[in-house]
């Protein structure tokens, strides 16, 4: 009879964690560019992904999906169809660097219709990281959209104002900053999708 291997002898498999395998299976040809460099009106979404202890997560992957500036998605589920914006993909994917930082180049989205009322301009964000069996999903809202944010049915569904604040980016030169805290104090609100 062969002895059972100890925990340190058992190889990790893709079904055990997303983290180590995202660099193999999730690269995106356009990477962090939802639009090309130099696109008029483009903005940078920057931030750092932190773990529960407040340390940067250096091997995460941040994925964004959003409507165009007219509030339309380039997707069959949006019967309105996206407006023709040359080079706008509405999708970006960026691995974090050695400081846990990511950066996506995109256009600011417009408001979108949704159940319960019009949704404020926002970017859907998924995070894949070590130790996670499934991605976590959050949203980035824009600070200058105060009235739209106050009326947004999804943002309003987050009861605690401190929790809602984790979903609003801060404006900075050339774009917005949106740090993501996976756990612990100031944890970013994640949605069950």
Kindly report the CATH number assigned to the domain that includes residue 129: 2.60.130.10
pLDDT of 176 above 90: yes
Phi-psi region of 95 (alpha: psi -120 to 50; beta: other; left: phi over 0): beta
Q: What is the pTM of this model?
A: 0.85
If one counts the domains in the chain, the total is: 1
pLDDT of 155 above 80: yes
Parent domain of 71: 14-181
Domain presence at residue 80? yes
User: Which range, of 47-51, 78-82, 132-136, averages the lowest pLDDT?
Assistant: 78-82
pLDDT, position 44: 98
Q: What is the mean pLDDT of the chain?
A: 86
pLDDT of 16 above 70: no
Is 90 in contact with 68 (CB distance < 8 Å)?
yes
**Stronger pLDDT, 140 or 6, i.e. the higher one:** 140
Structure-token pair, residue 69: 């500036």
Q: What angle do CA 128, 91, 132 make, to 5 degrees?
A: 5
pLDDT of 14 above 60: no
All residues at 6 or more sequence positions from 158 whose CB lies less than 8 Å from its CB, including other chains: 164, 167, 189
Domain presence at residue 143? yes
pLDDT, position 15: 47
All residues at 6 or more sequence positions from 150 whose CB lies less than 8 Å from its CB, including other chains: 156
Structure-token pair, residue 187: 């944890």
Domain presence at residue 163? yes
Q: How far apart are CA 59 and CA 76, in angstroms?
A: 32
Domain presence at residue 90? yes
**Stronger pLDDT, 112 or 27, i.e. the higher one:** 112
Domain presence at residue 58? yes
Arithmetic mean of pLDDT, 101-129: 94
Domain presence at residue 1? no
Domain presence at residue 4? no
């Amino acid at each position: 009879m062969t002895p059972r291997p100890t925990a340190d002898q058992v190889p990790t498999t893709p079904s055990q964690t997303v983290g180590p395998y995202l660099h193999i299976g999730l690269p995106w040809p356009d990477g962090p560019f939802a639009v090309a460099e130099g696109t008029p009106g483009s903005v940078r979404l920057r931030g750092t992904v932190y773990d529960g202890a407040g340390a940067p997560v250096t091997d995460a992957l941040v994925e964004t999906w959003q409507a165009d500036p007219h509030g339309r998605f380039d997707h069959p589920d949006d019967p309105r169809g996206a407006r023709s914006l040359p080079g706008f993909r509405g999708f970006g994917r960026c691995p974090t660097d050695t400081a846990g930082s990511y950066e996506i180049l995109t256009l600011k989205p417009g408001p979108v219709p949704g159940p319960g009322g019009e949704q404020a301009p926002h970017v859907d964000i998924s995070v894949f990281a070590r130790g996670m069996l499934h991605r976590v999903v959050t949203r980035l809202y824009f600070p200058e959209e105060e009235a739209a944010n106050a009326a947004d049915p999804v943002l309003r569904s987050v009861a605690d104002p401190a929790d809602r604040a984790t979903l609003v980016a801060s404006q900075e030169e050339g774009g917005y900053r949106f740090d993501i805290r996976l756990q612990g104090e100031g944890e970013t609100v994640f949605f069950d999708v």
